Amino acid sequence: MNLPSKLKLCRNKKRLTQQQVARMLCVSRKTISGWENSRSLPDINTLVKISNIYEVSLDYLLRDEKLLDEYSIQNNHLIFLRKASMLFYYINIF
């Protein structure tokens, strides 16, 4: 789940409207909408305020599960390549 989706999900879980969150952050409702619809992103200071309002960690907001899955796939591929390299190394020795 990406940041815009998480922002919307957290806001809905807290049962807040975009207008209410906008007032708390001293921004416009359109700004909140832009963040939730991937048209723009909040700066880091605002993200800290948002994490406090929604009572979630910055890590949760910023961590992208798809990115973590991609890293996991890359790591598995590297492990496979290392094992294959070792196998070919020993085959060449014999």
pLDDT (average), residues 50-69: 84
Number of neighbouring beta carbons within 10 Å of residue 16? 17
Burial of 4 (0-12, 13-18, 19+ CB in 10 A): middle
**What integer pLDDT is reported at residue 66 of this predicted model?**
67
Please determine, for residue 69, whether its predicted confidence score (pLDDT) is greater than 80: no
**Token reading at 79:** 């492990």
Residue 20 structure tokens: 């209410």
Which residues does 22 contact at the CB level (< 8 Å), separation at least 6?
28, 29, 31, 32
pTM for this one?
0.69
Q: How does the average pLDDT of the chain come out, rounded? A: 90
